[in-house]
Chain A
Amino acid sequence: MIARKKTAIWIFFLIVAAGQLFPLIWLVDFSFNSSADFYSNSILKWPSSPQWHNYVNAWVDGKFLKYLGNSLLVSVVTIALTVVLSLTLSYAFIRMQWKLRSLFYTILLLGIMIPIHATLLPNFAIFKALGLTDSYFGLILPYTAVSVPLGTFMLSGFLRSIPKELEESALMDGCSIYRIVFQIIAPLLKPALVTVIVTTFLNCWNEFIMASTFLSKDALKTLPFSVMNFAGQYSSDYGSQFAVMVLTSIPAIIIYAVFNEQITKGVTAGAVKG
């Protein structure tokens, strides 16, 4: 009985998964076809000769390596800043005793609700005045500011569930508060930290609208712009456009494949603690 039910779920999921992934399969399939093939009647089409030059176009004219480098740099610095700031903030909010903490906590959490799009216009004016447009910091600062409220929220939830005894005995041993946070608490928060890292990564890796508002210099652009540039340059070469979409999606998919177990663990741990 139970085995039969499980098989039924299994088959149902298989169908849904196939449907869900079908657009992506279609994308990969047609990235190997020539533009003429797009107008044939078939839903999927085995390319008569795989158009590898679509990928050559994507790699060369999509400036894949340059944009990848920019995306990596911006993401890594943003993640590092987000982790340190969220860790210290959540520790101060959950463990330390001070007067304004619940007020500050509420203000910070408003950041999850306030749309970044409402900050685009004024930040554009401010960054322009400060010379931050067309610089890496023009992206890193707002990306970090967006990620810290969510990061602090996730870490705070997890921190509440960790018993205080460990810190208290560390204090007895003469450990400083800074060592407690970075050497005792940080390792304990590992599942939540990984979730923060992965969500921050996905957010800034795929972010588009701030980058397109604050950047105009080609040398600084991030990976989504490979796709954007192509839409103009290769507007009628659909095969190459699809190739660049596939190519730019690969890094995030690899990262996901590596960390996928940790994402679930982190979210599950956070949610159970509520």
Chain B
Amino acid sequence: MHRVFRNKTAIFLFVAPGMLLFALTFLVPIIVSGYYSFTDTLAPGTKVTMVGFDNYTNLLFHDERFWLALRNALLLGIGFIVIQHPICIFFAILLDRLGGKAEKIFRTIFFIPCVISVVVISKMWLSLLDPTFGMLNKLLDLVGLDSLKHAWLGESSTALGSMLFILIWAGFGWGLLFYYAGVKGISEDLYEAAQLDGASGFRMHLKITVPLLKPVIAVQLTLAIITALKQMETVFLTTNGGPGDSTQFLAVYLYNKAFSASQYGYANAISVLFVIVCLLATYLSNRLTRNDATDF
């Protein structure tokens, strides 16, 4: 190994700016958050009184919303894993089989929702699911299923499901792209060999493609859970956690606590627990899907 690769000055110049920026806007804030979480501050810059672990005990033992938000994230994560990801894998395999120009065209089309901003997506779906002029209810009218009409985002029984649907619509392209990349990495020879052995179609993919995609799946499942936990903007811009907390998520909750309810100290305690939950979820998910290829 050449001594240049141990050049201390170069290493410092390469690492310091990035790490410093990351530390100052990511790690230091979390420590600051930790400090505020032990206070009952109303807003940044106002009087600070230390209250010890009060915020945490309230959150963990007396705050149903906190647990409801976690439950919603869990349900959403399960929704992603059970519905979105199998669909993505299925489409990735079909797309790979298609070949030629059509493969490229459909790959391009399926990704389009991913470049639309979250504000537009939220406002658009708010209109699409609107009880009076929304497209979905009109569509149900048209096919004579008007008994199924709902105020989709306005009823607590359908709100979380509608949210899942919107998020799958918006995120389908990314999932597809990653699985597609995984499928592309599988050697064509394997399929030929399998076909010689008489395997074909659905069974062949279940026996060959899916197991070979395991490293990709492992990473994607971890990301699915994190995505579910991190859910914020779409919820904030459509239901803002309602109706009746049915779409409450940690990030929405802490935001409203800090900026609408003026409980900045309490909100920071949610923030700290939020980070811990995300790291714990990552760790657990990595342990469950343990694989050499997952170096997250």
Which chain A residues have a beta carbon within 8 Å of chain B's beta carbons? 5-6, 9-10, 12-13, 16-17, 20-21, 23-24, 26-27, 38-39, 41-43, 85-86, 88-89, 91-92, 95-98, 104, 107-115, 117-126, 128-129, 141-142, 144-146, 148-149, 152, 168, 171, 177-178, 181, 202, 205-206, 208-209, 213, 223-224, 227-228, 231, 238, 241-242, 245, 248-249, 252-253, 255-256, 260-261, 263-264, 267-268, 270-272, 274
Contacts and interface: CB of A to CB of B under 8 A. Distances in A.
Contact of B133 (A238, A245, A264): A238
Interface stretch (B9-17, B53-61, B75-83, B203-211): B9-17
A41 B133 CA distance: 8
Contacts of A88: 13-15, 17-18
Nearest to B291: A274
Contacts of A245: 120, 123-124
Contact of B10 (A41, A152, A178, A260): A178
A118 to B, nearest CB: 5
A125 B36 contact: yes
A123 B1 contact: no
Nearest to A2: B97
Contacts of A242: 127
A20 B172 contact: yes
B22 A111 contact: yes
A144 B21 contact: yes
Given A24-B112, A123-B25, A249-B117, A171 B2 contact: yes
Q: How large is the interface on B (under 10, 10 to 19, 20 to 34, 35 or more residues)?
A: 35 or more
Given A119-B25, A144-B21, A253 B112 contact: yes
22 contacts: A12-B94, A21-B109, A39-B133, A85-B17, A98-B11, A115-B230, A117-B250, A122-B30, A122-B32, A125-B45, A126-B29, A128-B45, A129-B44, A141-B25, A146-B26, A171-B2, A177-B4, A181-B14, A209-B233, A224-B118, A268-B180, A274-B293
Contacts of B120: 224, 227, 245, 248-249
Contacts of B279: 110, 113-114
B38 to A, nearest CB: 13
Given A13-B106, A227-B123, A260-B108, A206 B264 contact: no
A96 B15 CA distance: 11
Given A23-B128, A178-B10, A118 B115 contact: no
Contacts of A122: 28-30, 32-33, 36, 268, 271
A224 B139 CA distance: 29
B159 interface: no
